[in-house]
A and B are shown apart, each in its own frame.
Chain A
Amino acid sequence: MGLSPRLEQKAAQVVLWTFTLATVFILLFIVIFILRKGLPMLSLEFLSSNPEDMGRAGGIFSTIVGTLALTLMAVLIAAPLGVGTAIFLTEYTWEGRLTRIIRFGAECLAGIPSILFGLFGFILFVTKLKLGWSILSGGLTLSFMILPTIIRTSEEAIRSVPASYREVSASLGSTKWQMVTRVVLPSAMPGIATGIILSIGRSISETAAVIFTAGSALRIPTSIFSSSRTMAVHFYILAREGISMPHAYGTAAVLVVTILMINIVSYYLMNKFIRRYS
């Protein structure tokens, strides 16, 4: 330990900041790399025409529709369950064994790798329940994956609503449910919305769970029983099978731009929410 504390402080600062800046650099590199190669591909036509010749030509319209349908399905199923769980945990019970079990279940679910969700969805929805590769199978599987995120973020949002709001509502003679729906939920809404937006991002990015449950058909889905390819799956197939690098870059650019926008919106909402209650 020949170093003086002040020198050691300087050395640590340099090393730790180097790691941090390297992390930021990697992120910027990924985003810029994809956008530089992919943005030239983008045009209104790329977004609005269907893939042709397995994706070698044409655009990505059907995969955008597929992504939206699957995400919508997943959120429609997971949001009520997730927000309901959060309301129960915060307003309708007390901390104890029950809440510990529910939280542990959600935490474990969050830790399960997406490929296992894919495996499960494939065997239960696609094969056993005979839903086939479809938006329904894929949406159900994805909804299970995003449920823990929605539970956790909604719970945090509801908890950060000041107790005084609840007290005032109760003192006016409201029932618990009136208090929850008219006071607590509206105040927690930006926080809940952030969680839902983050899970939308997760659904858009997901590949492993989706490819085995929603399949990879390139047609525009016509019902919830149609198989459908999402943008992420399309990108994976284009890149891995070397079908078309320019189209792969184009699809990746759309994915990355979407994810960037989702992160910016959720960050903005979260900040607004935090500022309100601090």
Chain B
Amino acid sequence: MTRLERNDRLIRLGLLMIAFSAVSILIVITLFIFSEGTPIMFKYGLRQFLLGLNWYPTEKSFGLLPMIVGSLFVTSGALLVGVPTGLACAVVLTQFASKRVARILKPVIELLAGIPSVVYGFIGIVVIVPFIRENLGGPGLSVLAASLVLGVMILPTVISISIDAFQALPPTYREGSIALGATVWQTTRMVLIPAARSGLIAAIILGMGRAIGETMAVIMIAGNAAAIPGSPLAPVRTLTSNIALEMGYASGEHREALFATGVILFVIIMVLNTLANWTSSRRRRGF
């Protein structure tokens, strides 16, 4: 073995170790969050954490149900806003717009992903919250406000993954359908959307993950009351806000309970990621 060959082997080994950095980081994060968060969950019982209605962490009452339901409401609202809009944009950019127009619109829409979440939250405070308060009633800081802002924030995720899903289809699908005399919309509705279905579902799932995980924007506009909201105009606290709001001053079991919140959030996100990964790998096998 020459010196050069030996060097190349060493380099491969070094790169192999580097390549495991992402996996190792993932494992370390998982271990840390679980080791900090699970002991208290077992100490007071999973039931209290998952189904308890009262969050008084300094009095040993750790019910996270209002936050779990809160995250669920806000995320569903965001999907109601973001999914139709995002899919419409993806269809327009891949099927309806001319190449030149699409080339201008796409980077503009991608810019939405770059805007900091605190800026979205701020726009929520100064524009959307007062609007809701004056026109629909309630405090303004609400499920509705959070859903609207999150709906816009998940757009880049939904749009870019849906575009990928459409572009991954063989061009013959579209050409064949058009050649049979179908309109572009008929082609989209009857051929392309069914064929790209698993990719589109992955786009929705990942958008959902984005909405559940968002923190700063939600804290600024959701009102953060730790109770199950009775209407879309009521304030709401999500799992992420629960962590961020109290992390600054929590200690002892209170802090552990915040890590327990992190564990629940982590599990939800991992389930969504695995689902998205699974649907899109099914798509890859499809072609």
Contact = CB atoms under 8 A, between A and B. Distances in A.
B7 A175 contact: yes
Contacts of B21: 81, 84-85, 147
Interface string B104-122: 0101111110111111111
Contacts of A188: none
B177 interface: no
Given A27-B111, A208-B244, A20 B92 contact: yes
Interface in B83-116: 84-85, 88-89, 91-93, 96-97, 105, 107-112, 114-116
Contacts of B25: 109, 144, 147
Given A16-B91, A109-B22, A239-B122, A201 B114 contact: yes
B54 interface: no
A226 interface: no
A263 B29 contact: no
Interface string A95-132: 00000011011111101111111111011100000000
B185 interface: yes
- Most chain A CB neighbours (cut-off 10 Å) among B189, B258, B262: B262
Given A87-B15, A92-B12, A106-B22, A259 B215 contact: no
Contacts of B110: 263, 267
- Most chain B CB neighbours (cut-off 10 Å) among A12, A177, A201: A12
User: In terms of DSSP, what is the predominant structure of the interface of chain B?
Assistant: helix
A239 B119 CA distance: 10
A232 B188 CA distance: 41
Contacts of A88: 12, 15-16, 18-19
A111 to B, nearest CB: 4
Contacts of A106: 22-23
Contacts, number: 239
A33 B127 CA distance: 10
Interface residues of A, number: 80
Contacts of B105: 20, 24
Contact of B89 (A19, A30, A263): A19
A263 B109 CA distance: 11
Contacts of B53: none
Contacts of B209: 111, 113
20 contacts: A8-B185, A8-B186, A19-B84, A84-B15, A85-B19, A87-B15, A92-B15, A93-B16, A102-B19, A106-B22, A107-B277, A109-B29, A112-B266, A114-B213, A207-B117, A212-B248, A232-B116, A240-B219, A255-B116, A263-B111
Given A102-B23, A212-B248, 16 more contacts: A15-B88, A16-B88, A16-B91, A20-B105, A31-B111, A31-B115, A84-B18, A92-B12, A113-B213, A116-B33, A116-B269, A118-B244, A120-B32, A120-B33, A177-B8, A207-B215
